[in-house]
Structure 1
Amino acid sequence: MTTDPLRLVVFDCDGTLVDSQHAIAHCMDHAFAQHGLDCPGLENTRTIIGLSLPEAITKLAAPNRIDNALIEAVTAAYKTAFFTLRQTPDFYEPLFPGVRELLAELDRRQWLSGVATGKARRGLDAVLARNELEGRFVTLQTCDNHPSKPNPAMLMAALDETGVDAPNAVIVGDTSYDIEMGRAAGMIAIGVDWGYHDVETLHASGAHAVISHFDDLPDILDKIWEDDRDAA
């Protein structure tokens, strides 16, 4: 008698679980302006969401060729701005549709779930608390202890923590950084089309599939894993 292997579904946060683009762009513009740099604006900021803050700021400020000290200062200003914004009564960072229903379905299937995000742990904890999702994920990986995406370190740590083999794990994300990270970790990489990188970019980065709603995810994973089993 054989038993199904342990499965793990790891989610990106910004652009996948929550729509945080406007808050991130607002705080990035504030931090850049505070240090006399041209504000990147929403469209440019969308391209770097998912990276750790220092790398994101470096990419956005590349024409200005800022040094490490200024990168650290802008990073600190961004963190302060986001902390302040988060305390305002009208702060808005909604879950995308279908998150809660999908997590319930993963529980029903006894698949584990986790998060791998470029956010700091404090920011991730705030997102989970605001949306009453504390305790819903068995592994939480953030930029505090790992290099920025697309380095696979966060996913390798998630695999180590859960004891799941890479072929039985998936990363679900909205950016090429998520897809490249998943591929580098030997995991299945699924893109979502409601986030901050377009579908063509996700496919070009190596996504096994791109979904339009969380309802689609379980069936797609079932097919991928069934095909892998048949090919073995």
Structure 2
Amino acid sequence: MTRLAIFDVDGTLVDSQGDIVASMTGAFQAVGLPVPARAAILSIVGLSLDHAMVRLAPEADTATHDRMVAAYKAHYQELRVKAGAASSPLYPGIREAVEALAARDDTVLAIATGKSRRGLLALLENHGWSGLFASVQVADDHPSKPHPSMLFTALAETGVTAERAVMIGDTTYDMDMAGAAGLSFLGVDWGYHPPALLTGAAEILSAAAQIPDAVLRLTGEPA
């Protein structure tokens, strides 16, 4: 019986905080607003960009938010083109953990991310992961996390039931999205939200090597 492991990207698979902070800095400078603190910027990782801008600059109007989103995307793309895979490096052990799950005949993988499709596909190509994920859900096609639309679509596309699926992520947005969709949630402690906030997690992992066994436990079979 097939199981589904759905991964968040930023703060879970890749450490993209350098490019995120630099791009958000560029977005605020582009419209003449003071740049938020690094902690504030990282707190919105996982949200779609339009929601992130409203959260970080609530005093700005819609037109300004739109300019900020465009500036952010332009900065991020420039950084990605310059650095390639080094722009958003995989966390230690992530490649081995993800590819171990992908190698199982009874397991399919998906992604649910606040990134754009263009940005995500470039990232996957940079890391040699094009085609590895059976379902790819991005901000272009869904309401922002924690709305469960991404997860419902991933379940529908793969034909897996919620009881046989697990969401793996680092933020409360991932956790709340999983809860709204009726999925188990695996938290990771190396991302951008403090692990203490991940109160709805079935488990909180401290190493990528723990992911495969935890996915098997939470989807109804022993490791």
Say whether the fold is shared (TM-score over 0.5).
yes
Q: Which of 98, 102, 115 is the equivalent residue of 2:97?
A: 102
The 8 Å contact of residues 31 and 77 in structure 1, kept in 2 or not, is answered as yes
Counterpart of 2:211? 217
Residues 43-58 of structure 1: pairs in structure 2 closer than 5 A: 43-58=39-54
Q: Residues 78, 213 of structure 1: CA spacing in aligned structure 2 closer, same or farther, 3 A cutoff? A: same
Which stretch shifts more, 206-215 or 189-198? Answer: 206-215
Matched AA of 1:116: A
Q: Which of 145, 149, 159 is the equivalent residue of 2:145?
A: 149
Counterpart of 1:11? 7
Give the distance between the partners of 1:215 and 1:161, measured in 2 at CA: 27
The 8 Å contact of residues 115 and 137 in structure 1, kept in 2 or not, is answered as yes
Residues 116-195 of structure 1: pairs in structure 2 closer than 5 A: 116-195=112-191
Q: Which of 65, 68, 74 is the equivalent residue of 2:68?
A: 74
The 8 Å contact of residues 29 and 41 in structure 1, kept in 2 or not, is answered as no
The 8 Å contact of residues 22 and 42 in structure 1, kept in 2 or not, is answered as no
Counterpart of 2:81? 87
Give the distance between the partners of 1:133 and 1:227, measured in 2 at CA: 26
Q: CA RMSD in A?
A: 1.6
Give the distance between the partners of 1:226 and 1:127, measured in 2 at CA: 31
Shift of 1:98: 1.6
Matched AA of 1:21: Q
Unaligned runs of 5+ in 1: none
The alignment status of 1:61 with 2:57, answered yes or no, reads: yes
The 8 Å contact of residues 25 and 41 in structure 1, kept in 2 or not, is answered as no
The alignment-based identity, stated in percent, is: 44
Shift of 1:226: 4.2
SS of residue paired to 1:189: strand
Which stretch shifts more, 212-221 or 18-27? Answer: 212-221
Give the distance between the partners of 2:185 and 2:167, measured in 1 at CA: 5
Give the distance between the partners of 1:227 and 1:127, measured in 2 at CA: 32
User: Which deviations, in whole Å up to 9, do the C-alpha atoms of 1:127-184 show, x marking residues without a partner?
Assistant: 1011111111101000001000000000100000000001100110010000100111
Give the distance between the partners of 2:111 and 2:70, measured in 1 at CA: 24
User: Which deviations, in whole Å up to 9, do the C-alpha atoms of 1:68-127 show, x marking residues without a partner?
Assistant: 111111101111111112222485310011222112321343210011100000000111
Q: Residues 227, 109 of structure 1: CA spacing in aligned structure 2 closer, same or farther, 3 A cutoff? A: closer
The 8 Å contact of residues 3 and 219 in structure 2, kept in 1 or not, is answered as no
Q: Which has the larger radius of gyration?
A: 1
TM (normalized to structure 2)? Answer: 0.94
Matched AA of 1:67: D
Q: Residues 153, 221 of structure 1: CA spacing in aligned structure 2 closer, same or farther, 3 A cutoff? A: same
